Structure 1
């Protein structure tokens, strides 16, 4: 079932990165597995519990890392010559923009986290320690 979904996705959105990933994309997948995935439960705990100012630095690191990895993906989708690929990649501007729309949440959500950590007054000010 998962392979059928992958085939449907690649055919529908013409995302060759999923079936023929370049080496740089494989490096991003490893970064996601070893850096980003461990962050999710930590961030989930901090955001659900609330009041955890210590999440600011890890969230800034996470969000800048993820947003930065999306730039080469966007450039690849927009500017790569897919006519030389074995698989049929996006050919028209509309197909390229449709594929970009699939990746867009992976940029917007980290940017939202980043701007929250940088500009929200709650996270900007250092935590005041209680005196005993």
Structure 2
């Protein structure tokens, strides 16, 4: 029951990530004229409201993370959404581990940057106060927390790692013969 609840959370996480990535996250990579003004306005509102200058004028290192999101993560989102909607799909284990480790690794420098970087006030103001920094961290934090939850589920749930446990047991019994 608890595992199924987690799978449903993971399903909605991946399903919601598809439009967010396409409509917002990829804007720093894709030529501006390809996006409708409503989506450009949405990004400008978000960046101003939550003081996230990285989305308006991304540093090279951040742009590389967005590139990875487009190239590696975006194709994985519908596959993962399907697997977690269906539930118990053992084949998603290795790709989910790779995804989780990759995303968690990218979020550490992003969160560190938000918390410790001395952001300029112009042209795109970044967070200045602790409250503004924590607000922006709260926007990014689910993209660390949920992948870590997925990683732990893949590593410790008997549903997802039972095949590897059986494989280890059978190889041990073969060695003993």
Normalised by the size of structure 2, how large is the TM-score?
Answer: 0.68
Q: CA deviation at 1:8?
A: 1.2
In structure 1, the partner of 2:114 is: 77
Q: Which has the higher contact order (CA 8 A, sep 6+)?
A: 1
Matched, 1:90 2:127: yes
Number of aligned residues: 129
Structure 2 residue aligned with 1:113, among 123, 147, 150? Answer: 150
1:84, 1:26 → 2: CA distance?
A: 21
More helix by share: 2
Distance between the aligned counterparts of 2:104 and 2:62, measured in 1?
14
Which deviations, in whole Å up to 9, do the C-alpha atoms of 1:74-105 show, x marking residues without a partner? 01101111137532110001100000000011
Quote the Cα distance in structure 1 between the aligned partners of 2:83 and 2:159: 14
Determine the C-alpha separation between the residues in 1 that align with 2:131 and 2:85: 39
- 2:60 is the counterpart of 1:23: yes
Please list every run of 5 or more consecutive structure 2 residues that lacks an aligned counterpart in the other structure.
1-37, 167-177
* Contact 2:48–2:124 under 8 Å retained in 1: no
Q: Aligned partners of 2:42 and 2:88: how far apart in 1?
A: 39
Q: What TM-score do the two structures reach when normalised by structure 1?
A: 0.90
